[in-house]
Structure 1
Amino acid sequence: MKLKNTLGVVIGSMLATSSLGVLAQGQGAVEGEIFANRYFADSTRGYDNDEGNLFGGSIGYFLTDDVELALSYGEYHDIRTQATNKNIKGENGALTALYHFGQPGPGLRPYVSAGVGHQTIGQESGGRDHTTQGILGAGLKYYFTEHFYARGGVDGLYNFDRGDSEWMAGVGVGVNFGGAKPAPVVAAPEPIPEPEPVEEPPQTVRVELDVKFDFDKSVVKEESYGDIKNLADFMNQYPQTTTVVEGHTDSVGTDAYNQALSERRANAVRDVLVNQYGVGAERVDSVGYGESRPVADNATAEGRAINRRVEAEVEAQVQQ
């Protein structure tokens, strides 16, 4: 293949791919490059200045985001013999693996390379010299965008058939296209703190006691024991509670008599709470108010019956 045909194919590929709507680096990407290398030959070849140029192109495929397999072809120029100053022609083809450092994307990506090649080059005496080469190299690629880059590198060449070593230094420009866009790095979402438990305000529960008495009596009637027991059970359920048992009378009799009667009635109910239903004595107080706090009309028999009473009340705070 002539040099102009080689370069034409590579340049045509670069122009065609640059018009693609979706281009990206990374695994599955393809790179096309044209290059110009300075060739430094072994001194035993008998060239005039032991130097020449290699112009060509390459096509590479990224097996991973970092590993590329590249196939290249180039033609030698400006190599002249010492005796006749004859311009020597030749070709070089190679298969090379490149490992890139850094992340795909715009910026600098150093690389190292290794591969095998085949060189065929003319001789002063006629005919052509053929040799298989081992290739080791290193260089830098600078990606101006995700898709366009420039490269500079150095390759060491070992000619297996000749048993000598040569090297090349060169530059190239190329395009990269067709790879999968790297997945964007998504920051882990901030953990959502669990809401602080909302404490329900405590609820107040209340038990009331209203024990009625016969006229001029302080004996607790049998029918009132169930209500007193309910109060005792509540207080035993909530041992932090206390209560005051309040005794009252109607208006019949003197104030002093009614005061004493109200106290006896309050003590009678307290005794039932403490002695029969087990409420701690220190949690129950008793007080008498005589006839001073009527809740009904003392002018009627029905009202006086309502006023002959003992009252008690207990409250407790209950968490929901």
Structure 2
Amino acid sequence: MKLNKTFFAVAVALPMFSAPLVANTVSAADLNERVFGSLFAEYYMPDRDKTRSAAWNYMEKDAGYGIELGYYLTENWALRAEFAKLDLQSKLNGSDADGNRIGIDALYHLPQMKPVYLVGGLKRMDAVQNNTAFNIGIGYKHFFNQNFGLFAEANRYQGIDDSYADAGIKLGMTFLFGSAAAKAAPTPAPAPAPAPAPVVAKPVAVADTDADGVPDNADRCADTPATHKVDSSGCTVYEETMASVGDIDIEVRFPFDSAAVPASQRVDVENLGAFMQRFPESTVLIEGHASNIGNPAYNMKLSERRAATIADILKNDFNIAQSRITAIGYGVTRPRVEGSSREAHAANQRIEAKVTAKIKQPVLR
């Protein structure tokens, strides 16, 4: 089974032919619920396998003609019945290979391209052999007045009883019976009712006990300070800002050369985690510091690991988001107490937490 190249060429070209033509004088609405009849001539192209088969008498391409009768169901959909005479001959010896074709089609006019329509249907043909086929195609219909028009249409006929793919190109004229239904004039909109005369209410004095500008009958916050700005309910308007709430020393004593936090040293860390859970917009900077014993570069790495350990506890045990935590190690670069005494080493080996939280303050007048 092979597709006919001529069919596809015509199917693609039909919408293009519409561009230079004069616009249709029949609108889509004019087609609704009207009967139409058509006469057409057809160039019929049997499948290549038919032209080479004795079973089909070596059927050759040739002409045909026919008649159609249809009805527009809506602006877009139509049904039609067709009778066609296929005047075909044998390619081998010129003998008759003609026959008749009858069938029914459904037509769908594309909403955005009203002259162009798609067609599909079922056909019964008796050319050489009795067989049934379904067809699909595309067409273009142009009306010159309210009743008369011309059309072109290309179809592919796919055999059901036998596997073949014929094609046909129709050119014809069509006639719309009757006339389009008269369009009802739009009902005029009723005149607007006259606007009622405005009623001027007399002002009624209302008490404002706390002198905040909101009367007592609408004031939900009595005795608001005179210096506070209030909302429409008489309540203080607050503004929230992110500000440092101070440095927090976390007393954690790590084992020698270790960044693991012993269970006995977790109290301050847990208090910090609980604070950050309570204030979900707070952030923290974890600073690790070391005493000036040993190699400074090693102490820097050790202080970074210890700060990271505190950060991990906040993330893993208290579900504090990583974006709210910054961990950094300073090694021995920021001693709290200068010197090499035991007291200085104890004071400098520390973890500091710098917490920033949202502060709510009243807006003043």
Short-chain TM bin:
0.3 to 0.5
Which protein shows a greater Rg?
Answer: 1
Larger strand percent:
1
